[in-house]
Structure 1
Amino acid sequence: MPKKIIKPVVSAQEAVKCIKSGDSVMVGGFNYGGIPYTLTDALYDQGTDQLTLISNDTIYEFCGQGKLVAGGRCKKVIASHVGLNKTTGRLFHEGKMELELFPQGTYVEKIRAGGAGLGGFLTPTGVGTVVEEGKEVIEINGKKYILELPLTADVALVRAFRADRMGNLTYTGTNKNFNPTMATAAKIVIAEVDEVVNVGELNPDNIVTQGVLVDMLVLKGDSIYATRT
């Protein structure tokens, strides 16, 4: 029988120590739903800056990844919607932060391509608009497509519902939004969960993210959880 690889359950502060200045960080969630708040708060408190934030949106200035933007911790944001966080637009227009926007379907497909090891994909979305500027446009059977390149990150902070000690993850409700896809596309994946159970306690049919993709587990709301091996 293959040896079971037990993943460490650590405090949020311990988990985010792997994130260094200049790193690219994916953060799951859509508006309020599915954001790993315990991890984003710990990263904010750590003070790490010059980050490239990859998230669907920058939510609001006072919570989640929005605090990282409002606190001047990000040198660049890659997203599909930033209208709820006025600081995002202001920093971009003042030349203090780079901003790259993609249609939402294109955004998540770029991450999916990165996680699958693909060289990119072709999409008709944005052809003939500002979206295609600086990108390769390919014509197939008389129809034009934009070549979109894959998107990966140094670290992904994802929000799941339950994990077992091998790092297998289940999701519920809006936690399913971008989190499972991001868990495939980063060098280091840290999952914030409600509960960690023993190996064998999860219904295999409910597992969405396999433990081989996950490096560390953090309990929701737990910022002082003792490291376990």
Structure 2
Amino acid sequence: MSKIELPPFTYPVAYRIAGVDEVGRGPLVGDVVTAAVILDPENPIEGLTDSKKLSEKKRNRLSDEIKEKATAWYIGRATPEEIDTLNILHATMLAMQRAVQGLSVEPDYVLVDGNRCPTFLGEAGKISTQSVVKGDLRVAEISAASIIAKVARDQEMIELDAQYPDYGFAKHKGYPTKVHLEKIVELGVLDCYRKSFKPVAALLNK
């Protein structure tokens, strides 16, 4: 099968561009985590790409470099309770808004990975926004956001694993693997689970 080449992304004419991405829509446990990053053109970062295509070691190194060199960065999130109340899509949009609102520098333009984006508000009203399919591969700012969001969420799963070592969070990161589902049946549903997600809801309804 031939490799499909993505068309080059044409950047909007803007001074400060923020890239936004999310991590953790699929897991059964924990927050959905988003990040917003404004890169500094005077401090380029080599090796930015989709966080899923990087080794854990390289992701961690790049995450530190992004935080050191970026003009601004911020991590937003939505809790399991918010996910259960709003649904995962709307909770993700809320977390993205929080990430952009948390930036120490207001962007002129926001690029969001995927095909949907929320409304972002600045001091003068709505901030111009564009969704970019496969943006984590095509837009450096989105790549940077995907990296620091994934490193942050993975670290939270490692910390949760230290609290509840029998569940295996450090390995499956909360995703509904066969082993994870078996552990929930065996050990029960913790408060940090998303109770509206089908495998968890099914157990709670028994």
Mark yes or no: TM-score above 0.5: no
Q: State the TM-score, normalized to the length of structure 1.
A: 0.26
Q: State the TM-score, normalized to the length of structure 2.
A: 0.28
Q: Which structure carries more helix by proportion?
A: 2
